[in-house]
């Protein structure tokens, strides 16, 4: 079946809610990226998410809700730490890991006794949840391993004919997925950096840890099922091979150019992932800016679209600038490292 492209009006959202109640899968905009939503209480509907994405079954899904009343039906307890974070950042790009109640299918949680819950801040996402009348299990609306979609067009590039519909709500704002925080342990731990920074979380709850895997410089196989999406090391990747070139001063430009020149002599189509400040300094088959280095929120918003643009131009090798790992930069570098398979040139 061809995927229906719906406008983000009340009638279309109501129709999408009916599709979800009938066990179908619908892509929709959130403030982070586009999500792929199905009834989180319907195992057969959740299975369709995995089938459409080609997603491994041991990778859990995040459940999206429209009100705290929904949360109480899904989780066993709401610790004080969670309430502080909910008060500060919900609705918004923050996912919290809770002990789950039995009504959530194992397909959603990969058989774990915990579940990630988020209350999105996008009006279309909230309206769709309310219209469907059920919590939505919703990973990013892309084929597994590909850059996440920040427009409806990106969704259709990957999933046309594989899902029932996509609601076109324009470009996503944040551009990287939600921050995932595990609040089931005494000290909150960030499992996936995202739209809310470690510094912002620490300001609300005090001590907050980073999952040790976020400090890795090479991929390592997980010894147990991940508690959160994004913890496996192959994600967000363009079709071409990608390397990150370390360094943040102007010398990185000449170093990247030398790699580009060498690769082009070998006959490859070569691209450079850079920012507005450096976009005119490179000579390559494709030089693409993902935003402004002086405002890393623009880099987060433009990152996935930039990676997909290399695919559209048939780029075989990509050399990417690196970014500071503070604030939203931690999420940007997390996505870049996974997209590059942890290949870094120093």
Give the residue from 123, 164, 152, 169 showing the smallest Cα distance to 20.
Answer: 164
How would you classify the pairing of strands 26-29 and 62-64?
unpaired
**Residue 293 marked ligand-binding:** no
57 annotated among ligand-binding-site residues = no
Distance in angstroms (rounded) separating the CA atoms of residues 308 and 153: 11
> Tokens standing for 210?
């980073």
Q: Is 275 annotated as a binding residue?
A: no
Contacts of residue 29, defined as CB under 8 A and 6 or more positions apart, other chains included, come to 8, 35, 122, 124, 125, 152, 167, 168, 169, 170, 172
Residue 192 counted as an annotated binding residue: yes
- Return d(Cα 251, Cα 185) in angstroms, integer: 43
Confirm whether residue 138 is marked as ligand binding: yes
Instruction: Check the CA dihedral 263-284-300-251 and report its sign.
Output: positive
Parallel, antiparallel or unpaired: strands 344-345 and 241-245: parallel
118 is in an annotated binding site: yes
Q: Is 236 annotated as a binding residue?
A: yes
82 is known to lie in a ligand binding site = no
Exposed e or buried b per residue across 213-227, where buried means at least 16 C-beta atoms within 10 angstroms of its C-beta: bbeeeeeeeeeeebb
User: Measuring CA to CA, which residue among 81, 71, 80 is closest to residue 115?
Assistant: 71
- Residues comprising the binding site for L-threonine? 32, 64, 138, 178
- Residues comprising the binding site? 32, 55, 59, 64, 114, 118, 138, 140, 148, 178, 192, 236
- Residues comprising the binding site for ATP? 55, 59, 114, 118, 140, 148, 192, 236
């Amino acid at each position: 079946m061809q995927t229906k492209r719906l406008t983000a009006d009340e009638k279309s959202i109501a129709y999408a809610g009916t599709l979800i109640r009938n066990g179908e899968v619908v892509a929709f905009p959130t403030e982070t990226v586009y999500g792929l939503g199905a009834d989180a209480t319907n195992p057969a509907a959740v299975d369709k998410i995995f089938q459409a994405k080609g997603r491994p079954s041991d990778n859990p899904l995040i459940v999206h809700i429209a009100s705290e009343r929904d949360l109480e039906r899904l989780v066993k307890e709401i610790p004080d730490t969670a309430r502080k974070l909910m008060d500060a950042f919900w609705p918004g790009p923050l996912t919290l890991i809770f002990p789950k109640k039995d009504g959530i299918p194992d397909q959603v949680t990969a058989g774990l006794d915990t579940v990630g819950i988020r209350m999105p801040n996008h009006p279309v996402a909230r309206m769709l949840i309310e219209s469907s009348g059920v919590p939505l299990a919703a990973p990013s609306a892309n084929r597994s391993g590909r850059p996440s979609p920040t427009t409806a067009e990106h969704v259709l590039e990957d999933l046309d004919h594989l899902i029932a519909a996509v609601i076109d709500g324009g470009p996503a704002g944040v551009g990287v997925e939600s921050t995932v925080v595990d609040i089931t342990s005494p000290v909150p731990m960030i499992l996936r950096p995202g739209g809310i920074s470690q510094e912002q979380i620490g300001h609300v709850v005090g001590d907050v840890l980073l999952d040790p895997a976020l400090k890795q410089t090479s991929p390592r196989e997980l010894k147990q099922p991940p508690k959160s999406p994004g913890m496996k090391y192959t994600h967000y990747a363009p079709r071409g091979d990608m390397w990150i070139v370390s360094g943040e001063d102007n010398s990185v430009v000449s170093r990247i150019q030398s790699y580009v020149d060498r690769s082009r002599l070998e006959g490859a189509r070569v691209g450079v992932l850079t920012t507005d400040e450096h976009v005119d300094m490179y000579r390559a088959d494709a030089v693409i800016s993902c935003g402004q280095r002086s405002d890393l929120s623009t880099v987060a918003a433009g990152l996935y679209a930039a990676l997909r643009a290399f695919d559209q131009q048939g780029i075989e090798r990509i050399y990417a600038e690196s970014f500071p790992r503070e604030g939203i930069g931690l999420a940007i570098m997390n996505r870049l490292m996974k997209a590059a398979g942890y290949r870094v040139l120093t």
